[in-house]
Amino acid sequence: MQSEGTYMPEPFRIKMTEPIHLIDAEEREKALKAAGYNLFLMKAEHIFIDLLTDSGTGAMSHTQWAAMMSGDESYAGAQSYFRLKAAVEDIFGFKYFVPTHQGRAAESILSAVLVKENIYVPSNMHFDTTEANIRARGGRPTNLVNDDAFDINSLHPFKGDLNTQKLEKFIAETGADKIPFGMITVTNNSGGGQPVSMANIKAVSAIYRKNKIPFFIDAARYAENVFFIKTREAGYETTPTLEIAREMFSYADGMLMSAKKDAIVNIGGLFCMNDGALFERVKTELILREGFPTYGGLAGRDLDAIAVGLYEGLDEDYLRYRLHQTAYLANELGKAGVPILKPAGGHAVYVDCRAFLPHIPQQEYPGQALAVELYRVGGIRGCEIGTVMFAHPDPVTGEMVYPKLELLRLAIPRRTYTQSHLDYVVRILAQIYERNKELKGFEITYEPKFLRHFVCQFKPL
Ligand code: F0G
Protein backbone atom coordinates (compact mmCIF):
# COMPACT_ATOMS: atom_id res chain seq x y z
CA MET A 1 0.00 0.00 0.00
CA GLN A 2 2.55 2.57 1.10
CA SER A 3 5.12 2.14 -1.66
CA GLU A 4 2.69 2.29 -4.58
CA GLY A 5 2.80 5.30 -6.86
CA THR A 6 -0.93 5.52 -7.55
CA TYR A 7 -2.62 8.25 -5.63
CA MET A 8 -5.42 7.46 -3.26
CA PRO A 9 -8.21 10.06 -3.39
CA GLU A 10 -8.36 12.31 -0.33
CA PRO A 11 -11.00 11.00 2.12
CA PHE A 12 -12.55 14.48 2.35
CA ARG A 13 -13.81 17.20 0.06
CA ILE A 14 -12.98 20.88 0.34
CA LYS A 15 -15.57 23.40 1.46
CA MET A 16 -13.38 26.33 2.35
CA THR A 17 -10.40 27.59 0.36
CA GLU A 18 -7.45 29.85 1.01
CA PRO A 19 -5.70 31.41 -2.01
CA ILE A 20 -1.96 30.89 -2.52
CA HIS A 21 0.12 32.82 -5.04
CA LEU A 22 3.53 32.39 -6.67
CA ILE A 23 5.30 35.76 -6.68
CA ASP A 24 7.74 36.32 -9.56
CA ALA A 25 11.42 35.37 -9.53
CA GLU A 26 12.70 38.88 -8.85
CA GLU A 27 10.40 39.29 -5.84
CA ARG A 28 11.45 35.89 -4.54
CA GLU A 29 15.13 36.88 -4.70
CA LYS A 30 14.35 40.11 -2.85
CA ALA A 31 12.38 38.23 -0.20
CA LEU A 32 15.25 35.77 0.33
CA LYS A 33 17.78 38.57 0.83
CA ALA A 34 15.50 40.45 3.22
CA ALA A 35 15.23 37.27 5.35
CA GLY A 36 19.00 36.75 5.51
CA TYR A 37 18.40 33.52 3.55
CA ASN A 38 16.66 32.02 6.59
CA LEU A 39 13.30 30.64 5.46
CA PHE A 40 11.91 30.93 9.00
CA LEU A 41 12.30 34.71 8.66
CA MET A 42 10.27 35.05 5.46
CA LYS A 43 6.76 36.42 5.14
CA ALA A 44 4.32 33.55 4.63
CA GLU A 45 2.56 35.51 1.90
CA HIS A 46 5.73 35.15 -0.17
CA ILE A 47 5.56 31.36 -0.04
CA PHE A 48 3.66 29.39 -2.69
CA ILE A 49 3.73 25.88 -1.22
CA ASP A 50 4.70 25.75 2.42
CA LEU A 51 6.31 22.50 3.52
CA LEU A 52 8.27 24.10 6.36
CA THR A 53 6.36 22.09 8.91
CA ASP A 54 3.34 19.91 9.48
CA SER A 55 2.97 21.53 12.90
CA GLY A 56 -0.21 23.53 13.42
CA THR A 57 -0.54 23.99 9.66
CA GLY A 58 -3.19 21.36 8.94
CA ALA A 59 -6.83 21.95 8.02
CA MET A 60 -9.36 21.40 10.77
CA SER A 61 -12.54 19.53 9.93
CA HIS A 62 -16.05 20.98 9.97
CA THR A 63 -16.59 18.94 13.16
CA GLN A 64 -13.64 20.61 14.85
CA TRP A 65 -14.81 24.08 13.81
CA ALA A 66 -18.27 23.27 15.12
CA ALA A 67 -16.78 22.09 18.42
CA MET A 68 -14.90 25.38 18.74
CA MET A 69 -18.20 27.23 18.78
CA SER A 70 -19.13 25.43 22.01
CA GLY A 71 -15.84 26.32 23.70
CA ASP A 72 -16.38 27.19 27.37
CA GLU A 73 -14.10 30.12 28.20
CA SER A 74 -14.46 29.91 31.99
CA TYR A 75 -11.13 30.52 33.72
CA ALA A 76 -11.40 27.39 35.87
CA GLY A 77 -13.25 24.10 35.47
CA ALA A 78 -14.53 24.80 31.95
CA GLN A 79 -16.67 22.15 30.24
CA SER A 80 -14.15 22.19 27.38
CA TYR A 81 -11.50 20.93 29.81
CA PHE A 82 -13.67 18.01 30.87
CA ARG A 83 -14.43 17.07 27.25
CA LEU A 84 -10.70 17.05 26.53
CA LYS A 85 -9.99 15.13 29.74
CA ALA A 86 -12.44 12.40 28.68
CA ALA A 87 -10.72 12.03 25.27
CA VAL A 88 -7.23 12.06 26.81
CA GLU A 89 -8.16 9.41 29.39
CA ASP A 90 -9.88 7.27 26.76
CA ILE A 91 -6.93 7.27 24.34
CA PHE A 92 -3.82 7.59 26.51
CA GLY A 93 -4.95 6.12 29.80
CA PHE A 94 -2.70 8.08 32.18
CA LYS A 95 -3.95 9.14 35.62
CA TYR A 96 -3.17 12.85 35.35
CA PHE A 97 -2.87 15.40 32.57
CA VAL A 98 -2.57 19.10 31.91
CA PRO A 99 -3.07 21.00 28.67
CA THR A 100 -0.16 23.20 27.55
CA HIS A 101 -0.01 25.80 24.79
CA GLN A 102 2.21 23.53 22.68
CA GLY A 103 4.64 20.63 22.92
CA ARG A 104 7.70 22.57 24.02
CA ALA A 105 5.81 24.05 26.96
CA ALA A 106 5.35 20.51 28.27
CA GLU A 107 9.06 19.87 27.63
CA SER A 108 10.00 23.05 29.46
CA ILE A 109 7.89 22.11 32.49
CA LEU A 110 9.22 18.55 32.59
CA SER A 111 12.77 19.92 32.34
CA ALA A 112 12.12 22.56 35.01
CA VAL A 113 10.92 19.86 37.39
CA LEU A 114 13.33 16.98 36.67
CA VAL A 115 16.47 18.22 34.85
CA LYS A 116 19.57 19.30 36.79
CA GLU A 117 23.17 20.07 35.80
CA ASN A 118 24.97 17.08 34.31
CA ILE A 119 22.13 14.62 34.30
CA TYR A 120 21.38 12.59 31.16
CA VAL A 121 18.17 11.99 29.24
CA PRO A 122 18.33 9.11 26.76
CA SER A 123 15.94 8.74 23.83
CA ASN A 124 15.97 7.28 20.34
CA MET A 125 16.42 10.86 19.07
CA HIS A 126 15.26 14.02 20.78
CA PHE A 127 13.53 16.67 18.73
CA ASP A 128 15.39 20.01 18.67
CA THR A 129 13.15 21.77 21.20
CA THR A 130 13.33 18.79 23.59
CA GLU A 131 17.08 18.74 23.25
CA ALA A 132 17.32 22.50 23.82
CA ASN A 133 15.03 22.42 26.86
CA ILE A 134 17.21 19.75 28.46
CA ARG A 135 20.45 21.54 27.54
CA ALA A 136 19.08 24.90 28.74
CA ARG A 137 18.89 23.41 32.25
CA GLY A 138 22.36 21.90 32.07
CA GLY A 139 21.25 18.37 31.20
CA ARG A 140 22.63 16.17 28.47
CA PRO A 141 20.23 14.77 25.90
CA THR A 142 21.54 11.48 24.51
CA ASN A 143 20.41 9.85 21.25
CA LEU A 144 20.55 6.05 21.16
CA VAL A 145 18.66 5.22 17.97
CA ASN A 146 19.62 2.10 16.00
CA ASP A 147 22.38 2.64 13.45
CA ASP A 148 19.88 1.89 10.64
CA ALA A 149 18.51 5.36 11.20
CA PHE A 150 21.68 6.82 9.71
CA ASP A 151 21.69 4.53 6.70
CA ILE A 152 19.80 6.56 4.12
CA ASN A 153 19.00 3.48 2.03
CA SER A 154 18.10 0.97 4.75
CA LEU A 155 14.51 -0.17 4.29
CA HIS A 156 14.15 -1.30 7.92
CA PRO A 157 10.42 -0.94 8.68
CA PHE A 158 11.09 0.64 12.10
CA LYS A 159 14.12 2.87 11.65
CA GLY A 160 13.05 4.88 14.69
CA ASP A 161 13.75 2.02 17.12
CA LEU A 162 15.94 2.80 20.10
CA ASN A 163 18.93 0.47 20.39
CA THR A 164 18.25 -1.52 23.56
CA GLN A 165 21.84 -2.77 23.87
CA LYS A 166 23.13 0.79 23.70
CA LEU A 167 20.52 1.79 26.29
CA GLU A 168 21.49 -0.97 28.76
CA LYS A 169 25.17 -0.10 28.35
CA PHE A 170 24.46 3.62 28.68
CA ILE A 171 22.51 3.16 31.92
CA ALA A 172 25.17 0.83 33.36
CA GLU A 173 27.96 3.32 32.57
CA THR A 174 26.11 6.50 33.53
CA GLY A 175 24.29 5.18 36.60
CA ALA A 176 20.49 5.23 36.82
CA ASP A 177 20.71 7.94 39.52
CA LYS A 178 22.03 10.34 36.84
CA ILE A 179 19.02 9.67 34.59
CA PRO A 180 15.90 11.38 36.01
CA PHE A 181 13.79 10.14 33.09
CA GLY A 182 14.10 8.45 29.72
CA MET A 183 12.22 9.12 26.50
CA ILE A 184 11.34 7.81 23.07
CA THR A 185 10.05 9.95 20.18
CA VAL A 186 7.28 8.51 17.99
CA THR A 187 7.64 8.89 15.08
CA ASN A 188 11.30 9.88 15.09
CA ASN A 189 11.09 13.31 13.49
CA SER A 190 14.81 14.16 13.66
CA GLY A 191 15.63 10.82 12.05
CA GLY A 192 13.28 11.04 9.08
CA GLY A 193 9.81 10.64 10.61
CA GLN A 194 10.53 6.93 10.98
CA PRO A 195 8.32 4.80 13.22
CA VAL A 196 9.15 2.88 16.39
CA SER A 197 7.83 -0.67 16.71
CA MET A 198 5.60 -1.80 19.56
CA ALA A 199 8.16 -4.50 20.34
CA ASN A 200 10.80 -1.79 20.78
CA ILE A 201 8.60 0.44 22.96
CA LYS A 202 7.89 -2.59 25.13
CA ALA A 203 11.57 -3.55 25.39
CA VAL A 204 12.68 0.02 26.13
CA SER A 205 9.98 0.32 28.78
CA ALA A 206 11.20 -2.89 30.44
CA ILE A 207 14.76 -1.53 30.62
CA TYR A 208 13.69 1.83 32.03
CA ARG A 209 11.42 0.12 34.56
CA LYS A 210 14.08 -2.37 35.64
CA ASN A 211 16.29 0.63 36.40
CA LYS A 212 13.45 2.64 38.02
CA ILE A 213 13.77 5.39 35.41
CA PRO A 214 10.43 7.06 34.58
CA PHE A 215 9.62 6.68 30.87
CA PHE A 216 7.99 9.47 28.84
CA ILE A 217 6.87 9.17 25.23
CA ASP A 218 7.20 12.21 22.96
CA ALA A 219 3.88 11.52 21.25
CA ALA A 220 3.77 14.36 18.70
CA ARG A 221 3.08 11.92 15.83
CA TYR A 222 1.88 8.91 17.77
CA ALA A 223 -1.13 8.26 15.50
CA GLU A 224 1.05 8.01 12.40
CA ASN A 225 3.30 5.68 14.40
CA VAL A 226 0.25 3.62 15.35
CA PHE A 227 -0.69 3.18 11.70
CA PHE A 228 2.85 2.11 10.80
CA ILE A 229 2.57 -0.53 13.55
CA LYS A 230 -0.77 -1.65 12.14
CA THR A 231 0.57 -2.01 8.59
CA ARG A 232 4.11 -3.20 9.32
CA GLU A 233 4.24 -5.12 12.60
CA ALA A 234 3.05 -8.71 12.72
CA GLY A 235 0.00 -9.24 14.92
CA TYR A 236 -1.53 -5.77 14.60
CA GLU A 237 -3.06 -6.00 11.10
CA THR A 238 -6.63 -6.16 12.38
CA THR A 239 -6.22 -4.28 15.67
CA PRO A 240 -8.10 -0.93 15.73
CA THR A 241 -5.81 2.11 15.93
CA LEU A 242 -7.30 3.15 19.27
CA GLU A 243 -6.31 -0.18 20.81
CA ILE A 244 -2.80 0.02 19.39
CA ALA A 245 -2.48 3.51 20.86
CA ARG A 246 -3.66 2.33 24.27
CA GLU A 247 -1.17 -0.52 24.28
CA MET A 248 1.66 1.83 23.28
CA PHE A 249 1.01 4.23 26.16
CA SER A 250 0.44 1.42 28.67
CA TYR A 251 4.22 0.85 28.62
CA ALA A 252 5.03 4.46 29.62
CA ASP A 253 4.81 6.51 32.81
CA GLY A 254 3.75 9.59 30.94
CA MET A 255 3.77 11.41 27.63
CA LEU A 256 4.32 14.85 26.14
CA MET A 257 2.51 15.80 23.00
CA SER A 258 2.46 18.67 20.60
CA ALA A 259 -1.22 18.55 19.62
CA LYS A 260 -0.31 20.58 16.52
CA LYS A 261 0.52 17.38 14.71
CA ASP A 262 -1.66 14.32 15.23
CA ALA A 263 -4.50 16.12 17.01
CA ILE A 264 -4.76 18.24 13.83
CA VAL A 265 -5.14 21.60 15.55
CA ASN A 266 -3.37 24.90 15.02
CA ILE A 267 -2.20 25.23 18.62
CA GLY A 268 -2.05 23.08 21.74
CA GLY A 269 -0.17 20.46 23.70
CA LEU A 270 -0.67 17.79 26.35
CA PHE A 271 1.37 16.52 29.27
CA CYS A 272 0.21 13.27 30.90
CA MET A 273 1.66 11.27 33.79
CA ASN A 274 0.86 8.62 36.37
CA ASP A 275 2.97 9.96 39.24
CA GLY A 276 0.81 12.04 41.60
CA ALA A 277 3.76 13.78 43.28
CA LEU A 278 5.14 14.79 39.87
CA PHE A 279 1.70 16.07 38.88
CA GLU A 280 1.65 18.40 41.90
CA ARG A 281 5.01 19.91 40.90
CA VAL A 282 3.95 20.13 37.25
CA LYS A 283 0.79 22.05 38.20
CA THR A 284 2.83 24.60 40.14
CA GLU A 285 5.14 25.17 37.15
CA LEU A 286 2.14 25.28 34.82
CA ILE A 287 0.41 27.99 36.85
CA LEU A 288 3.66 29.95 36.90
CA ARG A 289 4.28 29.78 33.15
CA GLU A 290 1.23 28.64 31.20
CA GLY A 291 -2.02 29.10 33.08
CA PHE A 292 -4.46 27.41 35.41
CA PRO A 293 -4.38 23.59 35.13
CA THR A 294 -7.78 23.38 33.43
CA TYR A 295 -6.71 25.51 30.45
CA GLY A 296 -2.89 25.47 30.38
CA GLY A 297 -2.41 28.54 28.19
CA LEU A 298 -5.15 27.67 25.70
CA ALA A 299 -8.62 29.03 25.06
CA GLY A 300 -11.57 26.75 25.89
CA ARG A 301 -12.33 26.46 22.17
CA ASP A 302 -8.78 25.16 21.54
CA LEU A 303 -9.36 22.39 24.09
CA ASP A 304 -12.54 21.37 22.26
CA ALA A 305 -10.77 21.31 18.89
CA ILE A 306 -8.10 19.02 20.38
CA ALA A 307 -10.72 16.72 21.95
CA VAL A 308 -12.32 16.16 18.53
CA GLY A 309 -9.03 16.17 16.59
CA LEU A 310 -7.50 13.42 18.73
CA TYR A 311 -10.11 10.98 17.40
CA GLU A 312 -9.88 12.27 13.81
CA GLY A 313 -6.12 11.76 13.97
CA LEU A 314 -6.69 8.07 14.73
CA ASP A 315 -9.29 7.55 11.97
CA GLU A 316 -8.09 4.75 9.71
CA ASP A 317 -9.29 6.25 6.39
CA TYR A 318 -7.48 9.43 7.31
CA LEU A 319 -4.27 7.68 8.37
CA ARG A 320 -4.23 5.45 5.29
CA TYR A 321 -4.51 8.53 3.08
CA ARG A 322 -2.03 10.49 5.19
CA LEU A 323 0.78 7.92 4.97
CA HIS A 324 -0.06 7.23 1.34
CA GLN A 325 0.34 10.90 0.45
CA THR A 326 3.82 10.99 1.97
CA ALA A 327 4.77 7.74 0.22
CA TYR A 328 3.47 9.15 -3.06
CA LEU A 329 5.74 12.19 -2.82
CA ALA A 330 8.72 9.98 -1.93
CA ASN A 331 7.97 7.60 -4.75
CA GLU A 332 7.65 10.31 -7.38
CA LEU A 333 10.88 11.99 -6.22
CA GLY A 334 12.58 8.60 -6.37
CA LYS A 335 11.37 8.11 -9.95
CA ALA A 336 12.87 11.49 -10.85
CA GLY A 337 16.22 10.34 -9.41
CA VAL A 338 16.16 12.76 -6.46
CA PRO A 339 18.04 11.14 -3.53
CA ILE A 340 15.80 10.82 -0.48
CA LEU A 341 15.88 9.11 2.87
CA LYS A 342 14.14 5.75 2.54
CA PRO A 343 11.54 4.61 3.34
CA ALA A 344 9.19 7.61 3.37
CA GLY A 345 8.48 8.95 6.85
CA GLY A 346 5.02 9.54 8.24
CA HIS A 347 4.71 13.30 7.99
CA ALA A 348 7.49 14.25 5.64
CA VAL A 349 9.88 13.30 2.89
CA TYR A 350 13.52 14.04 3.58
CA VAL A 351 15.88 14.87 0.72
CA ASP A 352 19.41 13.52 1.25
CA CYS A 353 21.38 16.73 0.76
CA ARG A 354 24.80 15.07 0.89
CA ALA A 355 23.91 12.99 -2.13
CA PHE A 356 22.05 15.88 -3.77
CA LEU A 357 24.96 18.31 -3.31
CA PRO A 358 28.06 16.14 -2.88
CA HIS A 359 30.35 19.09 -3.66
CA ILE A 360 29.15 21.19 -0.65
CA PRO A 361 30.82 20.23 2.70
CA GLN A 362 28.78 20.17 5.93
CA GLN A 363 30.56 23.32 7.14
CA GLU A 364 28.91 25.14 4.21
CA TYR A 365 25.39 23.94 5.00
CA PRO A 366 24.26 21.88 1.97
CA GLY A 367 20.74 21.49 3.42
CA GLN A 368 20.40 25.24 3.65
CA ALA A 369 21.72 25.64 0.09
CA LEU A 370 19.02 23.32 -1.22
CA ALA A 371 16.28 24.92 0.93
CA VAL A 372 17.15 28.35 -0.50
CA GLU A 373 17.24 27.06 -4.09
CA LEU A 374 13.89 25.30 -3.72
CA TYR A 375 12.34 28.59 -2.72
CA ARG A 376 14.22 30.55 -5.35
CA VAL A 377 13.06 28.31 -8.20
CA GLY A 378 9.59 27.26 -7.07
CA GLY A 379 8.43 29.40 -4.14
CA ILE A 380 8.47 26.20 -2.06
CA ARG A 381 9.54 26.30 1.58
CA GLY A 382 11.16 23.24 3.16
CA CYS A 383 13.17 22.96 6.36
CA GLU A 384 16.86 22.18 6.81
CA ILE A 385 17.37 19.34 9.29
CA GLY A 386 21.12 19.05 9.36
CA THR A 387 24.12 21.10 10.33
CA VAL A 388 22.27 24.39 10.83
CA MET A 389 19.79 22.73 13.18
CA PHE A 390 21.97 20.23 15.01
CA ALA A 391 25.71 21.05 14.91
CA HIS A 392 26.86 22.12 18.38
CA PRO A 393 30.12 22.45 20.31
CA ASP A 394 30.99 19.42 22.44
CA PRO A 395 30.36 20.46 26.09
CA VAL A 396 33.72 18.97 27.13
CA THR A 397 36.13 19.59 24.24
CA GLY A 398 34.40 22.59 22.64
CA GLU A 399 34.90 21.03 19.20
CA MET A 400 31.99 21.20 16.74
CA VAL A 401 29.95 18.00 16.56
CA TYR A 402 28.24 17.56 13.19
CA PRO A 403 25.06 15.54 12.65
CA LYS A 404 25.30 12.30 10.69
CA LEU A 405 22.43 13.22 8.38
CA GLU A 406 22.13 16.30 6.22
CA LEU A 407 18.48 16.54 5.26
CA LEU A 408 15.94 18.89 3.73
CA ARG A 409 12.55 18.07 5.18
CA LEU A 410 9.45 18.49 3.07
CA ALA A 411 6.77 18.25 5.75
CA ILE A 412 3.22 17.78 4.55
CA PRO A 413 0.56 19.75 6.42
CA ARG A 414 -2.44 17.55 7.22
CA ARG A 415 -5.44 17.64 4.85
CA THR A 416 -4.05 20.77 3.17
CA TYR A 417 -2.36 20.12 -0.18
CA THR A 418 -3.52 17.90 -3.05
CA GLN A 419 -1.73 15.64 -5.51
CA SER A 420 -1.14 18.47 -8.01
CA HIS A 421 0.69 20.49 -5.36
CA LEU A 422 2.95 17.52 -4.69
CA ASP A 423 3.52 16.95 -8.43
CA TYR A 424 4.68 20.56 -8.70
CA VAL A 425 7.17 20.04 -5.85
CA VAL A 426 8.55 16.94 -7.61
CA ARG A 427 8.94 18.85 -10.89
CA ILE A 428 10.86 21.72 -9.28
CA LEU A 429 13.17 19.46 -7.25
CA ALA A 430 13.92 17.34 -10.33
CA GLN A 431 14.84 20.50 -12.28
CA ILE A 432 17.22 21.62 -9.52
CA TYR A 433 18.80 18.18 -9.30
CA GLU A 434 19.68 18.31 -12.99
CA ARG A 435 21.89 21.36 -12.37
CA ASN A 436 22.94 20.52 -8.78
CA LYS A 437 26.64 21.34 -9.38
CA GLU A 438 25.75 25.02 -9.87
CA LEU A 439 24.60 25.39 -6.24
CA LYS A 440 26.94 26.92 -3.66
CA GLY A 441 27.10 26.78 0.12
CA PHE A 442 26.42 29.39 2.81
CA GLU A 443 28.14 31.04 5.74
CA ILE A 444 26.39 32.01 9.01
CA THR A 445 26.68 35.73 9.79
CA TYR A 446 24.61 35.78 13.00
CA GLU A 447 23.53 33.08 15.47
CA PRO A 448 22.10 32.95 19.03
CA LYS A 449 23.13 30.42 21.70
CA PHE A 450 20.14 28.03 21.46
CA LEU A 451 17.98 26.89 18.55
CA ARG A 452 19.95 28.95 16.06
CA HIS A 453 18.11 27.67 12.99
CA PHE A 454 15.04 29.77 13.81
CA VAL A 455 16.78 33.14 13.75
CA CYS A 456 20.31 32.88 12.33
CA GLN A 457 21.28 34.78 9.19
CA PHE A 458 23.30 33.60 6.20
CA LYS A 459 25.53 34.91 3.43
CA PRO A 460 25.88 32.99 0.15
CA LEU A 461 29.45 31.82 -0.55
N1 F0G B 1 8.46 16.80 19.67
C2 F0G B 1 8.51 16.54 18.35
C3 F0G B 1 8.82 15.17 17.88
C4 F0G B 1 8.27 17.57 17.45
O5 F0G B 1 8.33 17.31 16.15
C6 F0G B 1 7.96 18.86 17.94
C7 F0G B 1 7.71 19.97 17.02
C8 F0G B 1 7.92 19.07 19.32
C9 F0G B 1 8.17 18.01 20.15
C10 F0G B 1 7.61 20.41 19.91
O11 F0G B 1 6.28 20.74 19.74
O12 F0G B 1 6.25 22.74 18.24
O13 F0G B 1 4.28 22.13 19.65
O14 F0G B 1 6.31 23.04 20.69
N15 F0G B 1 7.96 19.92 15.82
C16 F0G B 1 7.68 20.93 14.82
C17 F0G B 1 8.26 20.48 13.52
C18 F0G B 1 8.08 22.31 15.19
O19 F0G B 1 8.28 21.30 12.58
O20 F0G B 1 8.66 19.33 13.39
P21 F0G B 1 5.76 22.25 19.59
Residue 266 pLDDT > 90: yes
Question: What are the backbone dihedrals phi and psi of residue 96, each rounded to the nearest 5 degrees, phi first?
Answer: -130, 150
Give the model's pLDDT for residue 449. Answer: 81
Percent with pLDDT over 90 in the chain: 93
Q: What is the mean pLDDT of the chain?
A: 96
Q: Which of 149, 129, 105 is nearest to 53 (CA)?
A: 129
Percent of the chain beyond pLDDT 70?
A: 98
What is the pLDDT averaged over residues 82-96? Answer: 98
CB 120 within 8 A of CB 142: yes
Residue 3: pLDDT above 50?
no
Annotation says 75 is catalytic: yes
pLDDT digits (tens, 9 = 90+) for 318-366: 999 999 999 999 999 999 999 999 999 999 999 999 999 999 999 999 9
pLDDT digits (tens, 9 = 90+) for 443-457: 999 999 878 999 999
**pTM of this prediction?**
0.95
Task: Work out the average pLDDT over 212-227.
Answer: 98
In angstroms and rounded to an integer, the radius of gyration of the C-alpha atoms of the chain is: 21
| CB-based pocket (< 6 A), ligand 1 | 53, 55, 102-104, 127, 129-130, 185, 189, 218, 220, 258, 260, 269
Query: 6 falls in which pLDDT band (50, 70, 90)?
Result: low
Instruction: Flag whether pLDDT at 83 surpasses 80.
Output: yes
Atom of ligand 1 nearest to the CA of 218: 1
Separation of CA 194 and ligand 1 centre (Å): 15
- Other CB atoms within 10 A of residue 402 CB: 15
pLDDT at 236: 98
Q: How far apart are CA 35 and CA 381, in angstroms?
A: 13
**pLDDT tens, residue by residue, 185-208:** 999 998 899 999 999 999 999 999
